[in-house]
A and B are shown apart, each in its own frame.
Chain A
Amino acid sequence: MRAAPFDYSVYDDGLLAAAVLAVDPAAIGGVVLRASAGPRRDRWLADLRQFVAAGTPVLRLPLHVGDGRLFGGLDLPASLRLGKPVVERGILAHASGGILLLAMAERLSPALAARLCAVLDFGEVALERDGFAMRMPTRFGVVALDEGASEEEYPPAALLDRLAIHLDLAGFEPSSRTDRHDLSAHVSVARTLLPAVVASDSLTEAFCGAAMAFGIASLRPTLLGLRVAKIAAALAGRTEVAETDAALAGRLVLAPRATMVPTDAEADSQEAQPEQSAAQQGLDRPHTENAVDVPDAPLDDRIIAAIAAAIPAGLLGLLSSPDPAVSKAQTSGRAGALHKSRLRGRPAGVRRGEPQGGARLNVVETLRAAAPYQSLRRREAAVSGRHGATFVQVRREDFHVTRFKQRGETTTIFVVDASGSSALNRLAEAKGAVELLLADCYIRRDSVALIAFRNRSAELLLPPTRSLVRAKRGLAGLPGGGGTPLASAIEAAVALAESVRRKGNTPTIVLLTDGRANIARDGEPGRPRAEADALLAARQARAAQLRILFIDTSPRPQELAHRLAGAMGATYLALPFADAAGVSAVVRQIASRSP
């Protein structure tokens, strides 16, 4: 039975995203839901729960999940009861057919993301743990709850690439249509209709062209977008993808990933801008008009226009500007593992020992150690008249504990004065030092960050990274010149250092400046206030007890620079001709000292 044609465009994109995901969660990978925790996010999740089929598992995956719970492993009570190893399925296998909610996805480690991605890609859990080797098929969709507050805070890029829909709930007014009943009914119809839905060659080509026009390099979003388009068609009761379906997929999948805007589409949407901002960044405007905007244009141009209309006006300007500011889609993701204590972090092997002082017992290895002696111990117990009720007799000497990586990483934060005339030279040398240190990093597993300050503010140019590739891209084309907002720079460095520390890593700040502050904290010029502010910030830095290296780059050592270094408890070094090799050598020396 064919459902009556259904016009889904009366609903807002947020609600449609939930409906699309509910039709076939695994097919589209999932949704990145960028929103702070609150009623709006809860409402979206509640909608999603209403749309999914009854009995669909919706599981929450905590950030700190260990591999054992993630993949599965030995089921201890059952194994002890039965006297043979019994496998326990992990969360990923349990989520099969349903949805996995990733809390605080912006803090997800690349290691956990890579594990998730492997399972998403191949639809099965490859369990090679605790003596088990098995494959467990599992297909699920992920909802990454991204609470990232700043441009730098994003879930790992590998995961972002695999989740079709990127939805930002900020500045997004839910549609006036509150009746979800209709949509809910069509979700279940769509589920049965979906296998029959096809996309014509011309539409596929147009969609590929659109993805390329928006500078989306990875091919995965294109593939995922086509699946979203098919689901949209199924929602509408169609068996062939129509232009409106492709436009919806473009808005949900391609628009948020755009790294550039095709020139003519830009002109189109600039005209449409006033109307858009009035409609709260255009997410709840009636969508029917998107696709029919330019009826005579070729199909791909119409899709491109529809997508461009979905990109918020501010971002559009940013993307089309010639400045190769690295797009957020490419730099997202956080490098660096979490090594908090002996209880946390990634396991680094197992050793014999007792579970004391917080060390965690490794049950499988303990059992393995105990196993060979079981018959002996049973006999022994029988002789001594102690008939133990336990099937397996484990003794103290069998205990094995899991070792975790304990040494935290070092993160070197370069804070570079990019003001004034000598800026270019200093920046080039700082850049060189960053790269030299990074080249050394893969041995020590350390990371590097870079803050540059000029004009009125300090800017984080390179979030902590271990990747030379990313660093090179982040450092390309550093601007120089302008005033010296030293106070803001110190504050930014301390804030970053503290966030590094919260992750269990050890920060070292390297400040390259001549110390001649002339911009106050509030961005106003004026030397006396700027210097007072800088001194205040320096004292705050000292209170934070950070390891700081102050490199004075002025031709003649400055008295103020010296005072600043003293105030922040920094190691002061006059290096008028600071060159890359020199700086990196000094930093390496300082960083290797224990804090």
Chain B
Amino acid sequence: MQKIMTTIEIDYSRYGHSTRITVPLFKRERSIEVGERVWIVGDDVPERVAVVAALVDDGRKAVLEFDSSPTA
């Protein structure tokens, strides 16, 4: 069965237009795996997809990569 994409809300005021970001994960979000695609949402920013590039801090944080900046 295909896994439903996880949605992660981030605070873009901490990342701006960065294309590689490190995001703390709530416990319920920690089922994501490296290489997986996730939906990224933010307050009044169009949702988009990022790829989980790495999991760090014993899986408490994810390094996410976007294809481009949010407004590109």
Q: Is chain B found bound to chain A in the same assembly?
A: no
Q: Which residues of B come within 8 Å of A, CB atoms? A: none
